[in-house]
Structure formats: structure tokens, C-alpha cells
Amino acid sequence: MGTTTGMILDVTRLAPMEKHSTIFNRIARLQEGESLIIHNDHDPAPLRYQLAHTHQDTVAWEYLEQGPQWWKVKLTRRAPRNEKGRNILDVTQLAPHEKHATIFARIARLQGGESLTLHNDHDPVPLRYHLEAEHGDAYGWEYLEQGPAWWKVRITRRITGAGADGANELDVTKLAPREKHPTIFSRYHALKGGESLIIHNDHDPRPLYYQMQGEMGDVFTWEYLEEGPRWWRVRITKRSAGNSGERLGEMVVRDMRKADVLKRNGLDFCCHGDMTLNEACAARGIDVVRVEQELREVEKDQGRSALPYGEWEIDFLADFIVNMHHRFLRNNLQDIRTYAAKVEQVHGDSHPELHRVNDLVQALCDELTAHVEDEEKTLFPYIRQMVAARNAGRTRPASAMGPLNEKVDKLVLEHTEVGGMIDELHDVTGGYAPPADACASYTLLYRKLQELEDDTHIHIALENHLLFRKAAEMELIV
């Protein structure tokens, strides 16, 4: 545990999992005007950002020492300021008989898009039920902090007005500079899940995108409707509950057309398909706004439609994988093996990377051959048996392959190994770009390797992010 002297907390003495909870508990006990000084061996700036979001302007931050060995920061509790966009009510400061009347009087004064932030020492959820009973969905309710010492809730009056075409629009150019961000945030918080706010501006509002991501996470979508040179219009949509941050793998199996966009941007939806778009772009240092815009353009393309994989019965999906992807492997792996060995033999001296290419190709073909045979002898028959039992109203048969979850874990691990070999092949071959002196066989090998990569990525995504999930769900109900 940490050693404290008066109002000093040495964070370096705390276990990593205790640090934030200890700091926040100590802050919660501060009275107005009191301070806590924290000592750390690196800059605690991330804590400052978190405090700015969770405590708004009620905790002052002052550096007393800034490295290189020690950082000391003085945190001082101060009274909330009721500035525009900072309408705060500390309910713990009210007498019990005043609480209800004061809260409802403050809420009643809110205009559309305005918010009131309540601070309390316990969950005020009964107030939420009361508001919904009296006013329906006229107010948004958003937890900013949920215990154990403090609960903070932002209550926002929803906007009932709209633009001429029924859209919820805000012309930011008509606001004073200090009003712009608070007004946009208030209007956003007033949205229901699935609703949108369109902002108009005279310059690119992209810094707002990064502020919203930093403060709220991946809970909204950002779509440019107009991009200069004179006007910028952006549609900001609040994601529905449970739809925050679709995973890359889920995105692709829902609309396979998006695979091309992700591959073009170097985003792995196959073996790393459990990452959200925002996480994947951040990991590669890619502009997520640009990628999102490319993905929306795909959705607008009426020239080619996406196959509805998610709507298919699981046995039909398994048959599709066998007939399309397993057949592709059986039709191509032997040729790829042969060309890899031949090209290494002829060109290996002048292109030594071909030795590694051949080694990888032989290992990859061995792994894929064994993998698809295993699936077709164990998992896929079990899937068909479960569907037949469900259709006949019978109890599913016992699995001959052992527990389903263990089998799936094994297959996913093999997919990861396959993905790793394909990634290395891609890198060693320079993205399958044949050199200037490549013969016809050399060029054909690289083209077939590109085709193998493309097909295997889709193959693995369908299994990892759809088939295996459907199999687990089927086993629970049959």
C-alpha cells in the first residue's frame, strides 16, 4: 500500500491495479479547498485527461515538479462552476428535504440540448425512473462516473426542433468561439441511439472528431457530407446501445465488399478481426476518418451487392465454405507447391529470398491441407447433426470430437499460425511484386500467392467471426 504523509500520496508504492482507484478515492474525500499531492516516477498526464472528463472543472491540476526523475502534482478540490455547458449540481450539499424539489427545478429550466450534471454519493437511478415516468424519453441519461465513492450523471433535454428537411442541424459558424465545443457536445448528448447531428462549419472540424474519440470512445460515426473548400458538413451519429465499435471481422462478414478497403489500408480483418476499426487504425497510425469514408463509399455502391452470410443457416454456411474455400485450396495448393520449388531452384541464387518463400509455402500448404481435412471430418459433420436434430425436434447428439469450445480454440490457433505465415510471405515477396527479371513461372507463382492470401483471409474471417459463433449458439439451444 502507499505511504502518505498528511495529504501526500506516493503512487510508486502502489500496485498497478490499485493506483487509479486509490487516487480517485482520495480525491473523493477532499473538501473544497483541500489538496492532494501525488508523487510519481513518470508524468501522470493521462490522469489529468481522465479527471478533466470525469470531474470536469472541480479538480485543479498544478505541477510542483516535472521530472526527469520525479513528478509531483497538486490536485485541489474546487467548487463547480456553472459556466455554459458546465451546469453542475452537487446533491450531497443539499438537505434531504430539498433534494427532490431542487433537482426537478433545475431540470425544468433546461432548454433543448442543455445538460445538468448531478454529483451524488450513491446511484441516483430512482430519479431516472421518475423522469421517464413523468416525461417519457424527453431527457437523456448518461453516467459519467459510477461509484464506488461518487456517481455523476449528465441529464440532457432532448432537442425537438429540426432543420427544414427534418434533419437535426447546427451551424457552428454562428456561435461564439467559446460556445462551439460545449454546444456541439450538448447537442450530441441529447441524441438517442441511431440519431444524428449535422454540423456546418467554415473549416474542417476534424479536431472535434479526435476530441470526441478521446472523451467518449468509439460510440459515434463521423461522415463528411461536404468537404470544402468553402463549407464543411459532417453527420455525427450516436451508435445504438450494443453497437459501439463493430469489430473488423464482423464488419467483413456482414459486408464482404469492405474487405478490399481494409486490405488496401493494411488492416487485418482475418486473424486480428477482433479489433475495432478505431483500434486497428490507431495501431497502424492510419487516419480512421479517411478509412470510414472509404467504407461508406462501398456501402453506397449499388453495382455489386454483399452476400448475406449472416442470414444463412449454419449448415448452408459450412457447405458454402467447403464448396468455395476448401475447393479453392484443393484446386491450387499443389500447383503453388510445385511453382515455389521450381522458382527457388531456377532463381534462388540471384533472389535468395526465394529459399524462405519455398519453405513458407511448403509449411503453409501442409498446415492448410491438414486443417481443412480436420474440419470436414469433425466440426462440419457435428454442425450438420445439430441442425438435423433441431429440425426433427430431437436432442443433439454427443460430440465425437470432444467439447466444442476446445475444438474451436484449436482451429482458431491454427488460423493464427496460417495468418502469420501468409503475413511473412507477403513481406518477403514485397507484396507479391515479381522482380524485373522474373520469368513466367515466377510471375505466376506470385499471382497465385496473392490469390491464396485473398481467399484465405475471407475463409478465416467467415469461420472465426461467423461460423464458430453460430456453432456455439446452436449447441446452446439444441
The domains of the chain are located at: 8-77, 88-157, 169-238, 248-300, 309-477
Integer Cα distance of 59 and 79 in angstroms: 9
Q: How many CB atoms lie within 10 A of CB 75?
A: 24
Each residue's pLDDT expressed in tens, for the chain with a length of 478 residues: 344 344 899 988 987 667 777 888 888 888 878 899 999 888 887 677 667 656 656 788 888 998 888 989 999 887 655 444 457 888 988 888 888 888 988 888 877 667 888 999 898 888 888 888 888 777 888 888 888 888 888 888 776 544 444 458 888 888 877 778 788 888 888 888 788 999 998 888 887 887 787 777 778 888 888 887 888 889 998 877 545 567 888 888 888 888 889 988 888 888 777 888 878 887 888 887 788 888 888 877 766 667 888 889 999 999 999 999 999 999 999 999 999 999 999 999 999 999 999 999 999 999 999 999 999 999 999 999 999 999 998 888 888 898 999 999 999 999 999 999 999 999 999 999 999 999 999 999 999 999 999 999 999 999 999 999 899 988 888 7
Question: CA dist 238 to 197, 219, 220, 320, 428, Å?
Answer: 9, 6, 4, 36, 42
Same fold, 88-157 and 169-238: yes
What is the predicted pLDDT for the residue at 255? 85
Tell me the CATH architecture of domain 8-77.
2-Layer Sandwich (3.30)
Could you give the angle at the alpha carbon of 78 between the alpha carbons of 10 and 60, nearest 5°?
A: 50
* Secondary structure E strands in 16-138: 35-40, 59-66, 71-77, 88-90, 115-120
The grid coordinates of residue 84 equal 455554459
Q: What are phi and psi of 111, to 5 degrees?
A: -95, 165
Q: Which positions ≥6 away from 161 have C-beta within 8 Å?
A: 112
CATH superfamily of 88-157: TusA-like domain (3.30.110.40)
The grid coordinates of residue 155 equal 441529464
Cis peptide before 148 (omega within 30 of 0): yes
What does CATH list as the number for 169-238?
3.30.110.40
Q: Which positions ≥6 away from 402 have C-beta within 8 Å?
A: none
* Helix 177-189 and helix 206-216, axial crossing angle in degrees, nearest 10: 50
**For residues 125-153, b (16+ Cβ closer than 10 Å) or e, as one string?**
eebeeebeeeeeeebbbeebbeeeebbbb
